[in-house]
Amino acid sequence: MDKISIKGGLRLNGRIPISGAKNAALPLMVASLLTDEPLILTNVPQLADIVFMADLLRSFGVSVDWKPGTKLGEGGTYRLQADRVRGSTAEYDTVRKMRASFFVLGPLVTRLGLAKVSLPGGCAIGARPVDLHLRGLQAMGATIDLAQGYVIADAPAGLTGGEVVFPTVTVGATENVLMAACLAKGTTVIVNAAREPEIVDLGNCLTAMGAKITGLGTSRIVVDGVDRLHGATHSVLPDRIETGTYAIATAIAGGEVELTNTSPDLVASLLDVLVLVGAEVSSTGTGFKVARDGFHPRSVSVNTAPFPGFPTDLQAQFMALMTIAEGSSRIRETIFENRFMHVPELIRMGADIKVEGDSAIVTGVPKLMGAPVMATDLRASSSLVLAGLAAEGETIVNRVYHLDRGFERLEEKLRGVGANIERLSA
């Protein structure tokens, strides 16, 4: 099993190109099930989760052709065509590898009238139940049964538009219902819809395919169902979590790095906090720059929240930054109930962190010390890499397969701006 070695203490300087967003690409790939014409996606990152999704779609008879990008940060192109969909069952052995596999439920039931999808697996960061996905489809007329670990959604006459009211903001369920509503009869109103950029990106692609959608980026999305969708070409938006991670990397290591192929608007809540921490942020023509001189960052408390609030997917990385900040900060996690698993590993590196319920109290220390640590999930693994950039000595991050699920060519991008980082093969 591969490991990553980081020898810390080096400032970062240069340019990092940002890849396409995994969390946008996955539902976009699933949207190919809604039409028999080709859907062409560009700027798709080359990641393990993307490969898993391509395999899942192939199991339904979707034709999947892939052409890789030719340079760092340039995504690949996927051509997907579901003109011969066979079967409506997503088997456990495929779905267990990745929670995003559950996205096929809505498109399959709205197109075929039936879907049987295994309950999902994925990162162990809380229960993350799928009940809101199911309630949304039920509001559109689907009959839902659970049997032997599978969800069976049945709508032999097709789905019918209705009002879907989410009691809490949910990204995945918003995306699943949004896709299903495109081919439903009548109008669907999604109330308390998630507002994340990835949902807007999915909606824009569906619109290009012929869907009638209004309200994207707001908490109320209205979808007027159409008889069929057609093919389209769509470029996946930049990855805001990768963008934020490298912005924090610059703040923790010091130096000046320009992030290209991205937008500061995607991570505005983070950049506001980084300015309070003491970093300088400036827009450029193709992205933005982050700079921090040699002084210690200042402690700033944050609460995670749905977009446009501070992202839960940047909480672990920001905590790594706070471990070397002056003073104490409180980081409150409001989205997932089990997302402090990186805390014991940061403590192994000398961090002073105390967990109190849904909050972590972080008191900055003068320096971290390199140590062998273990990644527990995707975002936790990136926080350990960032801590290693600031630590004295060598940090060895184990179980980096988590990183490969969400960060494209991370070591190469960080080496390009001066980090001493390499992958160690088992």
Q: Which residues does the annotation place in the binding site for phosphoenolpyruvate?
A: 22-23
- Catalytic choice (123, 206, 211, 384): 123
Q: Is 205 a catalytic residue?
A: no
C-alpha to C-alpha distances, 79 to 28, 94, 231, 240, nearest whole angstrom: 12, 21, 10, 24
- Residue for token digits 């995003």? 100
Six-digit token pair at 404?
Answer: 């490969």
285 vs 366: CA distance, rounded Å: 36
Q: Is the backbone peptide bond immediately before 308 cis, with ω within 30 degrees of 0?
A: yes
Type of residue found at 405: R
Widest Cα–Cα separation across the chain = 65
C-beta neighbour count of 270 within 10 angstroms = 25
Residue 74 burial by CB count (10 A; 0-12/13-18/19+): exposed, middle or buried? Answer: middle
Q: State how far the Cα of 154 lies from the Cα of 162, in Å rounded to an integer.
A: 16
* Residues making up the binding site: 22-23, 99, 128-132, 313, 335
CA–CA dist 321, 387 (Å, integer): 7
- Total residue count of the chain as it appears in this document: 426
What dihedral do alpha carbons 240, 243, 244, 245 form, nearest 10°?
120
**Residues catalogued as catalytic:** 123
